Amino acid sequence: MKTYDVIGLGNALMDLLVEVDDNKLLEFNLAKGEMHLVEEDQAKLLLEKINQHQLKIEKVPGGSAANTLKCISFLGGKSILCGKVGTDEHGEIYIQEIQKNGVSTKINTHPSITGHALTFITPDSERTFSVHLGAAIQLAKEDVLEEDIQKSKVLHLEGYQIEGPTKETILHAIELAKKHNTLVSIDLADPGLIRRNKEFLKDLVMNHADIVFVNETEAKEFTGLEPEEAVQELANHVKIAIVKIGKEGSLICKDGIVNFIEPFLTEAIDTTGAGDSYAAGFLYGFCNDWDLEKAGKLGSLLASKVVERIGVNLKDLNSEQLKQEVN
Ligand SMILES: Nc1ncnc2c1ncn2[C@@H]1O[C@H](COP(=O)(O)OP(=O)(O)OP(=O)(O)O)[C@@H](O)[C@H]1O
Ligand SMILES: [Mg+2]
């Protein structure tokens, strides 16, 4: 009956990585180190400028939930992504590449441009983002198929989609999950998002979520508590609560019992995707009936490998070896 481990709903964003010097950032009017959310005109203008300067763009399909699914498939799990791209070249590449990573797709198109996260990397390794959500936020109820949710053990959501037009889509997907005994997992994603939507998220987490992922800052914003108390407070309302504390490790709580998961110490080069890959390791283990500690350890190990590289890059990693290592 449950042929998929995890179905994910997420903003399908093409990650566009560009190496630049500080002068280019000035020319592009981007404050260094910040995340700029831009409209279509501005996004197109920026892409034109990059072309004019003949800067090299590395294109990798991204988005938080999509990254998690990519990692679950890498580990040998079965995952399916429900998202929306534009009717353009990036849309085609997005679908092709995500499928190459072993993720099944239910990705429809919308006549606008594919969402992207332009990431400018300066020589000091700092990152400056210009994000245009484009077609991603057009993901509608009709794009979510009941049978796909029915066939999945877990529905994984990213907090980003609870703002804007995708909010209704998320609520619809949750309703379908409840109907078919599919567990609801959500990563709350960002402290600002929690601040802006606290009442809504409290209701969502307390009444509809089964598994909730937050980092330390998000936990503080959501509960007002430090990690250890926060994870217990959250677990009073959900089956499994997880608070991640970066290189200090993570806490997993179920039925009032808190497990501390050790970090795998390493030299972090780029922490993009730490949370997404951690969720993947945990959910893979959870779907295979591993105990919580072992599932958390796999999340922690995979995340440590991802932060050693630029972007969510799984090349040359051996999933069987990683699974052995947490045994
Ligand atoms: N520098 C690091 N070294 C080793 N492991 C790390 C490091 N940073 C993060 N991790 C691992 O990744 C997990 C999740 O990281 P973090 O707490 O930063 O989550 P997050 O804030 O949700 O991440 P993201 O920035 O991707 O949203 C940690 O619990 C830890 O296991
Ligand atoms: Mg995170």
Reported as a single tens digit per residue, the pLDDT across 239-261 is 999 999 999 999 999 999 999 99
Average predicted confidence (pLDDT) for the chain:
96
Q: Which residue, judged by its Cα, is nearest atom 20 of ligand 1?
A: 275
Query: Do 157 and 187 meet the contact criterion of CB atoms below 8 Å apart?
Result: yes
- Report pTM: 0.96
Please report which ligand is nearest the Cα atom of 247. 1
| Alpha carbon distance 17, 105 (integer Å) | 24
How confident is the model at residue 311, as a pLDDT? Answer: 87
Give 136 Cα–ligand 1 centroid separation in angstroms.
Answer: 25
Query: Residue 196: which pLDDT band, with cuts at 50, 70 and 90?
Result: very high
In a domain, 45, yes or no: no
Task: Report which secondary-structure segment, H or E, holds 69.
Answer: helix 64-75
The pLDDT, as a whole number, for residue 35 is 87
Asked whether residue 87 is domain-assigned, the answer is yes
**Quick one: pLDDT at residue 125?**
82
Structure tokens at 144: 């979510």
H helices of 185-271, in order, are 191-196, 198-208, 216-223, 227-235
Query: Residue 323 pLDDT more than 90?
Result: yes
Tell me, yes or no, whether 287 lies in a domain: yes
In a domain, 17, yes or no: no
Q: Give the count of domains, the chain.
A: 1
d(CA 31, CA 124): 15
Q: Which ligand is nearest to the CA of 273?
A: 1
Residue 26 falls within a domain, yes or no? no
Instruction: Please write the tens of the pLDDT for every residue from 40-78.
Output: 999 999 999 999 999 999 999 999 999 999 999 999 999
Close Cβ partners of 161 (under 8 Å, ≥ 6 residues apart):
9, 10, 11, 139, 167, 169, 170
Ligand 1 atom closest to Cα of 272?
26
User: Is 247 part of any domain?
Assistant: no
Which residue ranges have their beta carbon within 6 Å of ligand 1? 215, 244-247, 249-250, 263-266, 268, 271, 273-276, 278, 300, 303-304, 307
Residue 51 inside a domain? The answer is: no
pLDDT per residue as tens digits for the range 303-316: 999 999 988 999 99
Ligand 1: residue of 35, 266, 271 to mutate (most ligand atoms within 8 A of CB) is 271
Cα–chain center distance at 289: 22
pLDDT tens for each residue of 263-289: 999 999 888 899 999 999 999 999 999
For the chain, what percent of residues have pLDDT higher than 70? 100
Ligand 1 geometric centre to CA of 103 (Å): 23
Give the other-Cβ count within 10 Å of 226's Cβ: 13
Which atom of ligand 1 lies nearest, measured to the CA of 245?
17
Q: Output the CA torsion 105→154→159→209 (10° steps).
A: 160
pLDDT one-digit tens code per residue, 149-164:
999 999 999 999 999 9
For residue 124, the model assigns a pLDDT of: 87
Neighbours of ion ligand 2 (CB under 5 A): 275
Proximal ligand: closest to the CA of 188: 2
> Does residue 145 carry a pLDDT above 90?
yes
pLDDT band at 107 (very low <50, low <70, confident <90, very high): very high
Pick from 70, 244, 302, 313 the residue to mutate for probing ligand 1's pocket: most ligand atoms within 8 Å of its CB.
244
Q: Which domain holds residue 174?
A: 4-12+63-113+135-187+262-325
In a domain, 182, yes or no: yes
What CATH number has the domain bearing residue 97?
3.40.1190.20
Residue 159, classed as helix, strand or coil, is: helix
Token pair in block for residue 73:
């498939």
Within 8 A by CB and 6+ apart from 128, the residues are: 25, 30, 31, 32, 33, 34, 36, 119, 120, 122
